[in-house]
Amino acid sequence: MTSANQPAHPVPSPAAAETPAVDLNDPALYINREISQLKFNVRVLDQSLDERTPLLERLKFLLIFSRNMDEFFEIRVAGLKHQIAFGHELVGADGLPPQRVLAEISAIAHRQIERQYAILNERILPELDAHGIRIVRRSQWTPRQKRWIARHFHHEVAPLLTPIGLDPTHPFPLLVNKSLNFIVKLEGADAFGRDSGLAILPAPRILPRLVRLPDEVCDGGHNYVLLSSIMHAHAQELFPGMKVLGCYQFRLTRNADLSIDPEDVEDLALALRGELASRRFGDAVRLEVADNCPRELADYLLHRFGLGPDELYEVNGPVNLARLFGIVNQVNFPELQYRPFTPSLPKVLQKSEDLFRAIARQDILLLHPYESFAPVVDLLRQAAKDPAVLTIKQTLYRSGADSEIVDALVEAARAGKEVTAVVELRARFDEESNLSLAARLQQAGAIVVYGVVGMKTHAKLMLIQRREGDELVRYAHLGTGNYHTGNARLYTDYSLLTSDEALCEDVHKLFGLLTGMGKLQPMKKLLHAPFTLKKTLLELIAAEARHAEAGRPAQIVIKVNAITEAGMIRALYKASMAGVKIDLIVRGMCCLRPGVPGVSHNIRVRSVIGRFLEHSRVYWFANGGEPRIYLGSADLMERNLDRRVEAVFPIEGKKLQQRIRKELDLYLADNSSASVLLPNGEYQRLQPGAGQSVRNVQEQLLERLSGLAG
């Protein structure tokens, strides 16, 4: 850790200011995006060691690391392997070829996964045990527990198992992505005289991986056994007359990216349904085995899956730690968990039951989860019941087929409103859910479209048209996060409720582009990718550089999930070289290298990881004393700026602008949940300096907006 007691920004030396022309395409100025993403996952794992965090929440961070790593291998590593296999290697601004990136990923991932299991076995599990929460190992089972487990195995597990002997008529089975399996070494011949010596035992996906032991066979506390332990203990019974010499769990991770070319299909929904089934059986990218598995068996599995030694991960524990989330969800230990809180409502909404009237009076800004997402849902519900409402249009990226948002849209459609939903079918890992919600909306009579061919619709927009007297009045919701009530309790995101005529007209035009056809219409306030967003952001950055060169105060504060787009990074470098003070709050990937003398000496980068997933995107420009502030759905990534439909909207009015700036300042002052990016690409966790109080932005926002103190 490093002290947070540091100057607001590094002061460049005269020599740095006079540095001759710099090649901003120099690969040394860029960090590889996959390695940067991997280091974000490591920062998540680091949270499991923070003793200021309640114990069960520390376990959550350790398990989230597992989930993140699964997706990292399924998408990032799989993508690199695909490039190499097909001879289409793409080299980014960092200049690292895919083969070298894979080698670095392997070294970091092996080290961190070994560290993860050490944290689990040496820190988390012993501390849980001290609180009466135990995963009981086979060597610790009491006679009573053994009898109960045996009955459970015979009644609940064994009938569902299908051992597969390996011989010419029983080839190696096609195993589902991330499924739990055992490789079993056998001795002897079976009833047909077969003696291949090997079998595969898949664990049925329908069975829970974590089994709670009943209180009557335990001496207090919450006691669990793993399905893998139960199957291992009774493996001998599955091969009668033969001798089980060894039984070892393993798990295969496969490429889970979908490979649909929207231009080559007539019905995207139909093609996607077909592709989803194949996701479970993509190319192998990683093999996890128990660390007691003999090397010859591990090598045999590697050969079967076409993997090399560097793609083998030997682990000291269950091969799928994410299954331990069951513990967190089942036990009730308030002292080991974050304190619950109730999201607040701003005063303007506390005093008004008519949301349309409240929004007509003023723009309303909400910061979730500290402030409730309910007004967004309630606005839809009110619109569904209001006879004056004629149309509702909404984008849906990740919402869930059974969400309150979809319920309200279904109600509105059934009530005769003209409901249009732009459903993004290709939201990664939510494709199946989105297919379901699209079908549900269509059955209710809503118009459902799938956006624009070749581009994901990532914008977060809702537009309601209401007849008021002789006029049609528009109301809009614009956000930085998805229309998902569950995520709104876990992710930090902004929502803007507005009836601003120009902004609502812009939203109307954008929906026209998404659902119909036509040339681009000029917009007054909304920035949207792939048309005006990138160009305008570059102009705003360049304007700050001109302010600095003219001796005027110049500053940029950007909060996003990722910065990878080389053109944006070069623009920020140029602004830094011109003297602009730049603060970047970047949760995950950051390919910009801060603190390089003469280039990025005026740039600081920090990452905040805490109770909530930082998800809001904020763009703040000093603009010569008249700040310009934008919120939206877009990160500074190639895909967001060039290959997606994104919406970024202005925040106007000094009161709201000052509020956002104050909230950004809390992030910049955080000295307990923030890590700073160093010039070498590593991160250092901040801690309070001598005499400093602890400042945690999420705790401060909880206290300010939700009244949760301490």
What is the rounded CA–CA span in Å between residue 186 and residue 354? 72
The candidate with the shortest Cα–Cα distance to 397, out of 205, 176, 640, is: 640
Would you name the residues annotated as active-site residues? Answer: 458
Q: Which residues are annotated as a binding site for Mg(2+)?
A: 398, 428
Exposed e or buried b for every residue in 652-669, given b needs 16+ CB within 10 A? Answer: eeeebbeebbebbebbbe
One-letter-per-residue 3-state SS of 402-417 = CCHHHHHHHHHHHCCC
Is-contact 485 404, C-beta < 8 A? Answer: yes
Which position has the token pair 């597990």?
A: 157
Inter-residue contact 477 to 379 (CB < 8 Å): yes
What three-state secondary structure class fits 223? strand
Rounded CA-CA distance 353/601 in Å is 51
Contact criterion met (CB below 8 Å) for 230 and 138: no
Which residues have a Cβ under 8 Å from the Cβ of 397 and sit 6 or more positions away?
Answer: 424, 427, 430, 456, 457, 458, 460, 482, 483
Tell me how far apart the alpha carbons of residues 160 and 83 are, in angstroms, rounded to a whole number. 40
The DSSP code for 645 is E
β-strands 312-315, 284-290 pairing: parallel
* CA 626 – CA 79 distance, rounded (Å): 44
Q: Quote the CA–CA distance of 148 and 214 in Å, as a whole number.
A: 9
H helix count then E strand count, the chain: 22, 28
Contacts of 288 (CB under 8 A, 6+ apart): 250, 251, 252, 253, 313, 314, 315, 319, 320
Which residues, listed in sequence order, are joined to residue 582 by a DSSP beta bridge? 556, 603
Q: Which residues pair with 604 in a beta bridge?
A: 583
Respond yes or no on whether the N-terminal peptide bond of residue 530 is cis (omega within 30° of 0): yes
Asked if residues 232 and 138 have their Cβ atoms less than 8 Å apart, the reply is yes
Kindly state the helix (H) or strand (E) to which residue 376 belongs, with its residue range: helix 374-385
Binding-site residue numbers are 68, 398, 428, 491, 587, 615
Say which amino acid occupies 591.
Answer: C
Please report, in angstroms and rounded to a whole number, the separation of the first and last CA atoms in the chain.
Answer: 23
Do the beta carbons of residue 120 and residue 61 sit within 8 Å?
no
Which of the 8 DSSP states describes residue 529? E
CA distance 658 to 46: 33
| Residue 98 CB neighbour total at 10 angstroms | 20
Residues 440, 410 contacting (CB under 8 angstroms): yes
Cite the annotated binding site for ATP by residue number: 68, 491, 587, 615
Distance of CA 557 to the CA centre of its chain: 22
Strand runs labelled E in 450-522: 456-457, 461-468, 471-479, 491-498
Question: Residue 625 carries which DSSP code?
Answer: G
Structure tokens at 509: 């035009």
Helix H or strand E encompassing 224 = strand 222-226
